[in-house]
Structure 1
Amino acid sequence: MKRKAESSGPAFLFDLDGTLIDSVYQHVLAWREALEAGGIRLAVWRIHRQIGMSGGLFINALSRETGHRVSAEEAERLQRIHAEAFARYASQVRPLPGARELLEHLTRVRIPWAIATSGRRESARLSLELLGVGADAVIITRDQVRHAKPDPDLFIAAAERLGVDVADSVVVGDSVWDLLAARRARALGIGLLSGGYGRDELERAGAYRVYDDPADLLRHLDEVGVRALD
């Protein structure tokens, strides 16, 4: 389906944690609690390297590093403990600089946008409230697709809900997993440094441009094809 004629640029498909919300390190600490509860001990930097994947792939990757085999039942338990731990860190979570302003600006200039997160709806709820996202916004969570990042399913589903072609969309994310998913969806990838990945890593993963945070992206929207309305 083609993009609506009144749009002044490509549709934007946003990751959530580390892209619009400053929550990556709270997720890292929550995962450390969950993994230690399962007898898996890892330095936080190793955990951070996998943030942005779906929970199942995340556990598989860390299990491979440690040699600790995790059953499906144990993986489910670890994800539940992570969700409970993250809820305790939730009071520390804030929108990233410029996140609300960026979404408001895109809405004002009639650019379609959606949020596609590897988190489940319940864990994303607080973050969406902090962003002031309305009930009419397109939100795709892990619960709604078969596979999460680095598979492209989340972004493809978000584009479909917006009624646009994912190949004509811009995917904005903070991790290499977001950009890998963007490439697999044949979308243009934009990287943000606000999740802790370096510029070189994001560019190697396929980022067309890399910006500091949502505020920096807002200042440079013309570089990614957003035109001011006449």
Structure 2
Amino acid sequence: MAAHTGQGRRSAALFDLDGTLVDTTYLHTLAWWQALRQHGHDVPMARIHRAIGMGADRILDDLLGSGRSRSEDESIADAHGALYAVWYDVLRPFEGAADLLRATAARGWTVVLASSASEDEVAAIRRALDADEVIAAATAGSDVDTTKPAPDLVEQALEEVGAEVEDAVFVGDTVWDVEAAGRAGVPCVAVLTGGASREELEKAGAVAVYEDAAELLRRVDTSPLGRPSRPES
């Protein structure tokens, strides 16, 4: 469902997945911890949690240093993927997450999933959400060369549906989401379900912060997602 904000223009609501719509942040933390240990790296889970939301390339840079040998990066990322895949069939959307997507689409936004996750992970989350009827497009980390906090995924998501930055809003849960959206020129609404604090998200530039998808759904009409699209000219 597209909202035209001029001749052929759309209003796009971009949604992160992990920690925003689905309760997976700590599953990813555990999977990365195990994958790193398999390759001889003992990284505290608290540090790993802080990096969740970046793509695999950025996570390993953050945790192991950008000057390291990258010879084992692919093996570590593959191990994370295999460990995380065990949870595919029991992934749990947050309360109100799927209805938030439907309510957003009903208000005239084109709904796009904008994630740094792998294609398989995005597919598993889409199955868990069961809201494909209102999802116009989705990105994965493999769609771009540089993942969050770079703006590439946000820009790719907009390109997927032909939307401009001035006609978009992003919903995420990490400072990496807020920074990526900001670098693309898109305002970011944040939720607290990924484990980042309200203060951290606001300091990063979030225009509004909600407890979770359910609160954002309840307050959607007074949130940035409730703003009417620009009338057709």
- What TM-score results when the alignment is normalised by the length of structure 2? 0.89
Residue deviations 1:26-52 (CA, integer Å, cap 9, x gap): 000000011001111122111100000
Residue deviations 1:109-135 (CA, integer Å, cap 9, x gap): 321110011011012211111111427
State the superposition RMSD in angstroms: 2.3
Q: What is the deviation of 1:70?
A: 4.2
CA distance in 2: counterparts of 1:167 and 1:185, whole angstroms: 10
Give the one of 68, 75, 78 matched to 2:76: 78
Partner of 2:41: 40
Partner of 1:219: 218
Q: Is the Cα contact below 8 Å between 1:167 and 1:185 reproduced in 2?
A: no
Q: What is the deviation of 1:185?
A: 0.5
**Aligned AA (1:15):** D
Give the one of 120, 127, 130 matched to 2:128: 130
Q: Is the Cα contact below 8 Å between 1:160 and 1:166 reproduced in 2?
A: no
Alignment of 1:22-171 (within 5 A): 22-64=23-65, 70-134=68-132, 137-171=136-170
Residue deviations 1:158-194 (CA, integer Å, cap 9, x gap): 1122221123311111000000001100111111101
Structure 1 residue ranges without an equivalent (≥5):
none
**Aligned AA (1:140):** T
Q: Is the Cα contact below 8 Å between 1:3 and 1:164 reproduced in 2?
A: no
Q: What is the deviation of 1:92?
A: 4.1
Q: Is the Cα contact below 8 Å between 1:14 and 1:171 reproduced in 2?
A: yes
Residue deviations 1:35-85 (CA, integer Å, cap 9, x gap): 001111122111100000110110011113xxx964333011100000000
Q: What is the deviation of 1:4?
A: 4.1
- What TM-score results when the alignment is normalised by the length of structure 1? 0.90
SS in 2 for 1:166: strand
**Aligned AA (1:100):** A
SS in 2 for 1:165: strand
CA distance in 1: counterparts of 2:32 and 2:62, whole angstroms: 13
Q: Is the Cα contact below 8 Å between 2:149 and 2:176 reproduced in 1?
A: yes
Q: Is the Cα contact below 8 Å between 1:10 and 1:225 reproduced in 2?
A: no
CA distance in 2: counterparts of 1:37 and 1:175, whole angstroms: 27
Q: Is the Cα contact below 8 Å between 2:178 and 2:188 reproduced in 1?
A: yes
Partner of 2:175: 176
Percent of paired sites with the same residue? 36
Q: Is the Cα contact below 8 Å between 2:13 and 2:225 reproduced in 1?
A: no
Partner of 1:207: 206
**Aligned AA (2:159):** E
CA distance in 2: counterparts of 1:22 and 1:137, whole angstroms: 22
**Aligned AA (2:49):** H
Residue deviations 1:95-120 (CA, integer Å, cap 9, x gap): 01111001111222321110011011
164-173 vs 80-89, which deviates more? 164-173
CA distance in 1: counterparts of 2:145 and 2:67, whole angstroms: 23
Partner of 2:16: 15
Q: Residues 62 and 227 of structure 1: is their aligned pair in 2 closer, same or farther, counting only changes over 3 Å?
A: closer
Q: Is the Cα contact below 8 Å between 2:216 and 2:223 reproduced in 1?
A: no
